[in-house]
């Protein structure tokens, strides 16, 4: 290839790249409104979690077009158990932002002695879809998490709290591309907060669902 042809090829490729960048795309969520959640609402869920011994509470589940995005508040009390239950979700990924407290969180995809979660379980139906519990994580990596930290847990990755110093409270963002969990609106949240939360929370000694499975 001579220099003239090479220069010509470079120009063509550059023009194609510019054209791709200038292409107009239709929004994946057509005329969708934004969602605002005040801190007062988040704190109301935290207060209810402590009062009623609840763990995982969904605040919103929003349709963003190609996926659902859930916003939850999780509060976990003191724990010291290296053999604590492992959780894994097949279709839903999670992002934690720690609000307060500290804990040891073990992560990894290689689960030992997996057991399927019942489809009737509250966490499966309302919060994080189908998945498994497990006895341990083979070659899991331990992370010391504290206020301000962020954790990303892809679908299929096991997560296990083995130690919680006093408590750990975190905001959880759930990414649900298959839309396996139901929507929860602001009105739904207001109605939920008028109850004790036991029938909608995932885990905790006060929840209707099994206390060790709400993760």
> Which pLDDT value is given to residue 23?
80
Per-residue pLDDT band for 15 (boundaries 50, 70, 90) equals: low
pLDDT, averaged across the chain: 92
pLDDT tens-digit series, residues 192-211: 999 999 999 999 999 986 54
CA–chain centroid gap for 52, Å, is 22
**Tokens 């054209």, residue located:** 19
| SS3 state at 8 | helix
Domains of the chain: 38-193 (2.60.120.10)
The pLDDT of residue 8 is above 70: no
pLDDT digits (tens, 9 = 90+) for 60-70: 999 999 999 99
Give the dihedral sign, CA 135/137/143/146: negative
Q: Could you tell me the pTM of the whole model? A: 0.86
Which pLDDT does position 127 carry in this prediction? 97
Q: What is the pLDDT of residues 16-61, one digit of tens each?
A: 766 666 788 889 999 999 999 999 999 999 999 999 999 999 999 9
Side-chain half-sphere of 160: how many Cα atoms within 13 Å? 27
Whether residue 164 has pLDDT greater than 60: yes
């Amino acid at each position: 290839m001579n220099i003239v042809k090479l220069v010509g090829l470079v120009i063509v490729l550059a023009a194609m790249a510019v054209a791709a960048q200038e292409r107009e795309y239709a929004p994946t969520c057509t005329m969708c409104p934004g969602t605002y959640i005040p801190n007062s609402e988040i704190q109301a869920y935290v207060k209810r979690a402590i009062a009623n011994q609840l763990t995982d509470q969904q605040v919103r589940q929003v349709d963003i077009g190609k996926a659902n995005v859930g916003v939850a508040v999780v509060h976990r009390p003191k724990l010291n158990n290296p053999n604590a239950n492992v959780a894994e979700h097949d279709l839903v990924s999670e992002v934690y932002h720690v609000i307060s407290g500290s804990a040891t969180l073990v992560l990894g995809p290689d689960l030992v002695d997996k057991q399927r979660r019942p489809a009737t379980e509250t966490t499966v139906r309302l919060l994080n879809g189908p998945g498994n519990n497990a006895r341990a994580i083979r070659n899991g990596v331990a992370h010391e998490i504290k206020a301000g930290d962020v954790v990303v847990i892809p679908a299929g990755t096991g997560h296990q709290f083995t130690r919680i110093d006093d408590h750990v409270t975190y905001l959880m963002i759930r990414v649900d591309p298959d839309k396996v969990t139901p929507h929860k609106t602001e009105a739904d949240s207001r109605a939920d907060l008028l109850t004790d939360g036991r029938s909608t929370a995932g885990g905790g000694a006060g929840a209707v669902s099994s206390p060790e499975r709400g993760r």
